[in-house]
A and B are shown apart, each in its own frame.
Chain A
Amino acid sequence: MNENGGYVLQVREIVKEFPGVRALDGVRFDLARGEVHALVGENGAGKSTLIKILAGVYAKDEGEILFEGKPAVITSPTDSLRLGIKVVFQELALIPNMTVAENVFLESFPLKKNKAIDWVRMNERTTDILLSIGLPISPRSKVGGLTVSQQQMVEIARALSHEAKVVVMDEPTSALSPNEIKFLFNVMNKLKKLGIGIVYVTHKLEEVFEISDRVTVLRDGRLISTKPVGETGTDEVVRDMVGRSITTLFPRTHPGSRTHAAANAPVLQVENLSTEKKLRDVSLSVHAGEVVGVFGLLGAGRSELAKAIFGLDRINRGRILIEGRELRSGSPSHSVKMGIGLLTENRKEEGLVLQMSVSQNITLTSIRELATLGLINRKMETERSREFVERFSIKTPSLRQKVMFLSGGNQQKVLLARWLMKSLRLIILDEPTRGIDVGAKAEIHKLIDELAKEGLAVLVMTSEMPELLGVSDRILVMSKGSVTGEFPREQTTQEDILAAAIL
């Protein structure tokens, strides 16, 4: 042990601000050699920000990072790698068309004297590394053909090829089967024996207690607790994760005003829905004027449910009814005709046409209604979109502004406006406030409330507990593709919901 007490990584009083949010507020975190240190917290707690700072993706605003006791400057991903920190993100940073060996040595291919790539040595060393973590695959196989679990191992092998001293894993088990998880834990134990420190970011508390030595809880960008796992328990960790008053940020604007909703016939009925991708036997219903919140941790199947109902994913079994009429599977255009709207979680990739104007984006789905014989009534188009821009207070210099120049919150409102210009029966909102600052969040929550009051059925998929409790009349909890709990909002606690979500 040297003078810094065996810590390979020490993070001191780190601060990171984004417009409107203090994502990290004086957080301390340290990691010993050969230790697995779990990092937990709700979405928005600051876990991702912290690991992105370690990875060199973000620059810290204040605070200090010590690596092996010496102050470290991390301004780019290269800095981070050179120090010996390897971050394995959920989105694996691999090149699918290259071989395993090429991926493992991507940053620094072993070279021969004449500067040509030394293929023989590269393949041999890759084989050695793979064997050391117990993965018998050929260094020459294409990474694209491997399973997610094997690809993860390639990332870990890459860390070993760099002789990394710290490995950060971001939700590594969210896409793994139980056997694969067991394998991963085996590998983690091998890394520990090599003296490598592991930062383990996860939502799954049972894993925390199975694999880690210590657990740190973050909440709202602050450090809440750091304890050895032997001195704490699931209940205590959950309490640390959620302990906050939510009502301040998310006022319930509709006390009891919509309780009559359940008396109507349901707008949406999902019966025993299963898909190839994820969903197992999901049943639910949403009534007119009701907001149903679907909570689930990452990989629980929320987005898949949204996509299946909208017809973007094919369904294997079960059926979906809109006001009693069965929905054609796998046809978004039929879903649109039946009065369903979907706000996807990826605004930019799946929602907006970035080069188009605000007005054109708003009218995109209802353009047929604004036209006769294919001719757009442009005056009506302008009037209608202006109406929505004003009603939703979308901040834009003009209707002709390209939508790419709007802030995230305003972009989201444009998408909401797009769907609400049509007369809908059901709107599905998948993570409607992801990446949106606090003020715009509150506005969107208010809009959701108004929509329900106007008689729309609303299904909100969210992984944010405050949002869930703030907007829903009824709460469904999903885990591993199934519904694992249903609660009326008035009679539930965050602990109950989390308990169902980690089932």
Chain B
Amino acid sequence: MEKALENRRVGVLKRIFAVNEFGLLISLAVIFAFFGATSHYFLIPRNLSNILGQVSLPLIAGVGLSLLLICGEVDISIGSLQAVAALPLVHALNGTHSLALGVFLALATGAAVGIINGLLVTRLKIPSLIATLGMYYALRGAVYLITGKVAVADRSGSELFFLIGNGKVFRFFPYSAILMFVILFVFMYILKNTTYGRRLYAVGGNADVARSIGIDVVKIKFSAFVICSVLSSVSAVLLASRLGSANHLAGTGFEFQVVAAVVLGGVSLSGGVGTLLGAFIGVLILGIIQNGLGMLNVNTMWQLVITGGIIIMSVAIDELKKRRG
């Protein structure tokens, strides 16, 4: 009896250490402590609030991208989509002063792009990297054409529109971060507890097996493309609110920032592996590094080099760990 209890206690400890995200959490803590110790401005409430606001965009899109990566596909058109989806939003605001209509149109644009991506990959069998690379260029080009490379400013004066990207609860907790946590928790629950989540993993883990036990692989992948694009459009709405405009340069490089963060968080590019908790920590780590380096006045060029080094290093460590297994 006593022994059983003891075994159980060991089991709990073991389980905590065995959680895949344990290593990530340690890195997060170390990075956090490092910047806290080296910069006077890092730990002040206003900066922490800033970090929460900064990471909410890549995380919201990162949730969608993680779903897609888990089922074995990828989407690198999400940065260009951020610029595209803002256009109907700002135009609708300027024309009708209806935020609801604007948001709806932005999300619908995202859904449409997701449907096209999904069709290209599942019906025409174009590898998703290529299909969405094409989309990445085409969408960006479309934005340049439509805007003539001039940002479309929001002239509606809608306060609500300003608040969704900039408002804070208790002047600390950004609305965008609340939205981020809601989306994160909903999809964590879906991945963990629904048959849909289980199927995403099965399809990404071994599509042949999934097919042979009667899972509709095409449907699952298609749905993930749509979810990814719609969530990216949500981040587009937040970005447009912050910029106060639909900017033709919005979201440049965003796709790689998100891919890097979720891969850092342990979501595998080859499918079937990864959690949203990991993706969340990955986004936090990258966000904090960028913020912290800024606080230390490291110039932006060095920031890029350091960020790149950290991504490569952490994934390399992960691979080594796997090999030792």
Q: Which residues does A use to contact B, with CB under 8 Å?
A: 310, 312, 332-333, 336-337, 342, 344, 349-356, 360, 364-365, 367-368, 371, 374-376, 378
Contact = CB atoms under 8 A, between A and B. Distances in A.
B195 A371 contact: yes
Nearest to B199: A367
Contact of B212 (A342, A355, A375): A342
Interface string B175-209: 00000000000000000011110110110011011
Nearest to A336: B214
B206 A375 contact: no
B102 interface: no
A332 B211 contact: yes
B26 interface: no
B212 A353 contact: no
Q: How large is the interface on B (under 10, 10 to 19, 20 to 34, 35 or more residues)?
A: 20 to 34
Given A356-B202, A365-B214, A351 B195 contact: no
Contacts of A365: 213-214
Given A310-B212, A376-B198, 18 more contacts: A333-B213, A333-B214, A337-B214, A342-B212, A351-B209, A353-B205, A353-B206, A354-B206, A356-B202, A356-B205, A360-B198, A365-B213, A367-B198, A368-B195, A374-B194, A374-B195, A374-B196, A375-B194
Contacts of B215: 333
A365 B215 CA distance: 9
B193 A356 contact: no
Interface of B: 193-196, 198-199, 201-202, 205-206, 208-216, 272-273
A378 B193 contact: yes
Given A332-B214, A365-B214, A353 B209 contact: yes
Nearest to A348: B206
B277 to A, nearest CB: 15
A371 to B, nearest CB: 5
Nearest to B201: A356
Given A355-B273, A365-B213, A349 B208 contact: yes
A364 B214 contact: no
B214 A355 contact: no
B224 to A, nearest CB: 16
Nearest to A405: B325
Contacts of B210: 353
Contacts of B212: 310, 312, 332, 342, 344, 350
Nearest to B213: A365
Nearest to B211: A332
Contacts of B196: 374
Nearest to A312: B212
Contact of A364 (B194, B202, B208, B273): B202
Nearest to B216: A333
A352 B196 CA distance: 18
Nearest to A341: B213
A6 B73 CA distance: 59
A378 B196 CA distance: 14
A197 to B, nearest CB: 41
Q: Is the interface of B mostly helix, strand, loop or mixed?
A: helix
Contacts of B201: 353, 355-356, 360
B195 A367 contact: yes
B15 to A, nearest CB: 8
Nearest to A370: B195
5 contacts: A336-B214, A350-B212, A356-B201, A364-B213, A365-B214
A355 to B, nearest CB: 5
A357 B139 CA distance: 40
A353 B201 CA distance: 9
Contacts of A352: 206, 209
Contacts of A349: 206, 208
A353 B209 CA distance: 7
Nearest to B209: A353
Contact of B205 (A336, A354, A374, A375): A354
Contacts of A355: 201, 205, 272-273
A350 B213 contact: no
B187 to A, nearest CB: 14
A350 B209 contact: yes
Contacts of A367: 195, 198-199
A332 B212 CA distance: 6
Contacts of B195: 367-368, 371, 374, 376
Contacts of A351: 209
A149 B198 CA distance: 43
A371 B208 CA distance: 23
Interface-central residue, B198, B211, B216, by most chain A CB under 10 Å: B198
Contacts of A375: 193-194
A55 to B, nearest CB: 26
B75 to A, nearest CB: 21
A218 to B, nearest CB: 34
**Shortest 9 CB-CB contacts between residues of A and residues of B:** A333-B214, A353-B205, A336-B214, A365-B213, A353-B206, A374-B194, A355-B272, A371-B195, A367-B195
Contacts of A350: 208-209, 212
A484 to B, nearest CB: 29
A215 to B, nearest CB: 39
Nearest to A360: B198
A336 B194 contact: no
Contacts of B209: 350-353, 364
B198 A364 contact: yes
B11 to A, nearest CB: 9
Contacts of B193: 375-376, 378
